[in-house]
Structure 1
Amino acid sequence: MEQQINRRRFLGLLPALAVSATAPEMASAAVTKGYPDKPIRVVVPFPAGSGTDESARYVAQSITMQTSQSVVVENRPGANGFIAAKTVATAQGDGYTMLITTNTTHAANASLFKKLPYDPIKDFAPVSLIAKSGLVLVVPSDSPVRTVADLTALARQRQGKLTFGSGSSSTRIASELYKIMSGAPALHVPYKGVPQALTDLMGHQIDFMISDISPARPLIQAGKLRAIAVTTAQRHPLFKDVPTMDESGLPGYELTAWVAAFFPAGTPTSVVDQMSSFIQQAMGSSAAAEHFGKTGGQPLSSTPEELAAFVRSETAKWAKTIKAAGIEPE
C-alpha cells in the first residue's frame, strides 16, 4: 500500500520536475526575447582617447542604433587592465555588463604576471572579436632620431639611459621585442594608458614609444610626433611612407594588437549569441570599414566559439613573444 502511495506521489511530481528541468532554458529564452530592455554598461581597461576606447565607443553606438537601448562606456584604466577585468569578472552575468578589452588582459597578462586577480578563461564568456591593429614607433618631432638605426645608435650612446613609455602590454612588449632584436638598451616607464604616455613623449619626459596608431596619428599629422616605423608585416595604409620594423633592419619583426568583447562567465548562451550578432552586424558594415580605416584598425568579428579558440591560441602566441623579449613575470 505504501509503495502505491509513494508511486502516486512520484507520478504527481513529474510535471513539476519537468518544469524545473526546463526552467533554465525558459528563463534564457525569455531574457533573449526582450534583450536588451535596459542600458548596457561597457567597461574598458584603458583611458578615454585610447584605441580600445575608440573601438568600444563605436561598438556602443552601433548597439544603440540596433536596439534603441543606451550603452554607457565606463573607463577603468590602470593596473595592467586588472581593475576593469575584475570588475566584469565579478559582475552579474545577465548581459548588461560587458568588457571590451585587448590581448593585454586576455592573452599577454597570463605570461607577464605570476598571479592574476581574474582568470581570462574561466571568468568570462567570449562574445566576439572587434578589431585588430598594428602599432607605430614614434619620437618627438624635434628628436634627432629619424630611423630605427638612429634610435639604436642613440640608445647605445646613452648606455641604457634612454627611456620608453607603455600604456598596455602590447605597447610594452613591442618595445621590449625591439630592444632584444636590436640590442638597444632602454628603460621602461609604465603609464595607465597610451594617451598619457604620448603626452609625456611630446614633453620629452620619455624618449620614444611604440604606440597604438589611433591616438598617435593626429599627433603625427599635427607635427608633434615623428613616425619612425610600423610593426605590421607590410606598410600601413595610413603611413605609406613609413617603413616596417622588418624593413628597418629587424628581420621578422611583426606585432599586432586586437580588441574583443567578453561577458562574465555564466551569462546565458542565448544572450551571448544575441550580443555577438549585434557586434558581427556592426563590424560587417561599410561604415565600420571606413571608421576603422581612418583610425588605423581593421574591423573583425567572430562567433563566441571562434573567439574562445582565438584567445587560447593568442595566449600561447604572446607567451612565446614575451619569452623572446626576455620579460620575467612580475
Structure 2
Amino acid sequence: MLMRRTLLGGLALPLVATRARAQVWPDRPVRLVVPYAAGGPTDTVARLLAERLSASLPQRVVVENRAGGGALIGTEAVARAPKDGSTLLFTTVVHAVHRALHGTRLTFDPTADFAPVALVGVVPQVIMVPPESPVRDVPGLLRYLRDGQHAYGSSGAGGSSHLGVELLKSMTGVRAEHVPYRGTAPAVVDLIAGRIALVMDSVATGAAQVRGGTLRGIATTGPRRSSALPDLPTVAETVPGFAATTWNAVLAPSGTPDATLAAISEAVTAALGEPALQARLTELGVEVPPAAERNIAAARQFVAAETAKWEKLIAEAGIRAS
C-alpha cells in the first residue's frame, strides 16, 4: 500500500505541473507578431523559436508578419492586443528608438505599453568597405574619415546601420555624410560600385559578402568578436566601450499577468538552451546570451539600457525619422 501511494504521488507531480502551466497560458494559439516582412533575418529567427516553443507548450506559437511603418504597424497591434499572453511581439533594436524618432506621433508608448519577457539574442554588425579601399582596419578607417569628405550608406534614418555609424562619429569625432537607402541591399550595391565609402550591416547578411571577398570586412560591432566572422577584431578593441548591435527580444502587452510572463520567459529560456537551436542561431549570426541574461529582469534591464543609449544619441545628433 505504501509503495502504491508513493508511485501514485510521483505520477501526480508532473500532472499538477502540467495543469498549473496550462492555467497561465491562453486557451488558443499564441501569435508571435514580427513587425517585418516574411523571409528576413528577424522573421527567420522568430520562426525557429516559434517552432521549438510549439513543441513544448500547451498552445501552438504561430508567427504573424505585420510589416510596415518602420515596425510601427506590428508593434501597435501588439500594444492593443489582449493582455493574456495570446499575442507577443518579436522585435529588434528598433523598439528602443521609436519614441525618440516619432515622439508625439506614436499611438503607443514603447516603454509603458510593453513588458519585456526574454532576450533571445544579440546580432553584431560588420563594417564593410569596397575591396579597392585603402582602409584595412579601424585605425585606418578613422584616419580616412578624418582626412576627407566621405559618405556612408544605411538602411534608412534610425536604423541600426545608421545609428551604429553615428555612434562611431560621436565617440571618435570623425566625419561622414549619411546617405539613406531603402534597405541595406541597395546600399551594398553602391558600396561595391565605390559610390560610398562604407556600410555597417548586420553580420546575418553582411558576413556572406565578407567571406566571399565581394567586400572587405574591417571590424564587427559587438562587445566581443563575432562567431560569424571570428578573424575580424571588434571596433571596441580600438574604441573602448563601443557597441552597436541589433537584437531580438520577446515582449508582451503591459498588464499581462506576472505568472503568464514568467511562463513565457521560462519557455523561451529553455528553448534557447537547446544545443540544436543555439547552433542554428549561431549560423545566422545571432549570439544567444547565457540563461541568466535572457530572463525577465535581464530583458527589462537590457531594453531600458538600449533605449536610454540610443535616445541620447538621436537627440544629440538631431536624427529625424525619414
TM bin, normalised by shorter chain, reads: 0.7 to 0.9
Contact 1:114–1:329 at 8 Å: present in 2 too?
no
Contact 1:88–1:99 at 8 Å: present in 2 too?
yes
Distance in 1 (alpha carbons) for counterparts of 2:263 and 2:54 = 14
Contact 1:51–1:212 at 8 Å: present in 2 too?
no
Distance in 1 (alpha carbons) for counterparts of 2:164 and 2:186 = 18
SS at match of 2:201: strand
Distance in 1 (alpha carbons) for counterparts of 2:187 and 2:26 = 37
The residue number in structure 2 matching 1:297 is 286
The residue number in structure 1 matching 2:245 is 256
Q: What is the root-mean-square deviation of aligned Cα atoms in Å? A: 3.2
The residue number in structure 1 matching 2:180 is 189
The residue number in structure 1 matching 2:30 is 40
Deviation at 1:189? 0.3
Q: What count of residue pairs does the alignment treat as equivalent?
A: 297
The residue number in structure 2 matching 1:214 is 204
Distance in 2 (alpha carbons) for counterparts of 1:216 and 1:194 = 9
Which of 289, 292, 310 is the equivalent residue of 1:318?
A: 310
The residue number in structure 1 matching 2:270 is 281
Which of 49, 63, 76 is the equivalent residue of 1:73?
A: 63
The residue number in structure 1 matching 2:7 is none
Deviation at 1:281? 0.8
Deviation at 1:299? 1.4
Deviation at 1:195? 5.1
Q: Which consecutive residues of structure 2, in runs of 5 or more, have no partner in the other structure?
A: 1-18
CA 1:254–1:31 in 2, change beyond 3 Å: closer, same or farther? Answer: closer
CA 1:98–1:218 in 2, change beyond 3 Å: closer, same or farther? Answer: same
Q: 1:133-170: per-residue Cα shift (whole Å, max 9, x none)?
A: 3211123445554334555566567635x231136632
Return the TM-score normalized by structure 2.
Answer: 0.77
Q: Which consecutive residues of structure 1, in runs of 5 or more, have no partner in the other structure?
A: 1-28
| Ranges of 4+ aligned residues in structure 1 off by more than 6 Å | none
Distance in 1 (alpha carbons) for counterparts of 2:51 and 2:136 = 39
Distance in 2 (alpha carbons) for counterparts of 1:74 and 1:200 = 33
Distance in 2 (alpha carbons) for counterparts of 1:202 and 1:40 = 42
Distance in 1 (alpha carbons) for counterparts of 2:84 and 2:241 = 44
Distance in 1 (alpha carbons) for counterparts of 2:21 and 2:230 = 48
**Structure of greater Rg:** 1
Return the TM-score normalized by structure 1.
Answer: 0.75
- 1:307 maps onto 2:296 in alignment: no
Question: Identity of counterpart residues, as a percentage?
Answer: 34
